[in-house]
Structure 1
Amino acid sequence: MPEKLTVDLHPIFRSDRDIDTAVRSAVFRAVREKVKLVEIIPGKGSGKLKHRVLAMLDQPHLRKFYRRVEVGAGNEGRVLVHF
């Protein structure tokens, strides 16, 4: 069982559907495999992708699965989801 899952959104940043699928899949996989931390890397850029990820994680059907979300301290291009 991995300690942490990492999802790098750089290769798919142009496709909203792929981004949604990647984030949802990571959350469900973490629950299924009892992973404690998912690291999502939207990158720095304009911040639009990070805000999209945070808004998605705030939806009730996903929020019920994790304990908290934090934006990586010292690294704005990282979102940490704690289970």
Structure 2
Amino acid sequence: MKLKLDLHEIYNKGYEIDRALRDIMNEAVAKKASMVEIIPGKGSGQLKKKVLRFLDQKDVKQLYHRVEKDSKNFGRLFVHFRWK
């Protein structure tokens, strides 16, 4: 199962971005998704940096296996999960 989060609509609302990221990570864990696709968009890169900082938090980092930056599309990230 693959989940998708597009941040284009809330790019300038910091508190909503954090809530959306936390919600999608919790949903991925609950549904045992194999991957979450996060689309911060291309823009200046600030939103992508914010997403990466969120994913690097200790409590969040323990939820997933690895983060992959899309080599063909700068404005997209993949968060991979490994379930036992």
Q: How does 1:1-83 map to 2 (within 5 A)?
A: 3-83=1-81
Unaligned ranges ≥5, structure 2: none
Q: CA deviation at 1:72?
A: 1.0
What is the TM-score when the length of structure 1 is the normalising length?
0.95
How far 1:64 moved relative to its partner?
A: 0.3
Aligned pair count reads 81
Which secondary structure does the structure 2 equivalent of 1:77 belong to?
coil
Q: CA RMSD in A?
A: 0.5
Per-residue Cα deviation, 1:41-65 (whole angstroms, up to 9, x for no partner): 0000000000000010000010000
Structure 1 gaps, min length 5: none
Aligned letter for 2:45?
A: G
Q: TM-score, normalised by structure 2?
A: 0.94
Q: Matched residues, percent identical?
A: 49
Amino acid in the other structure paired with 1:41: I
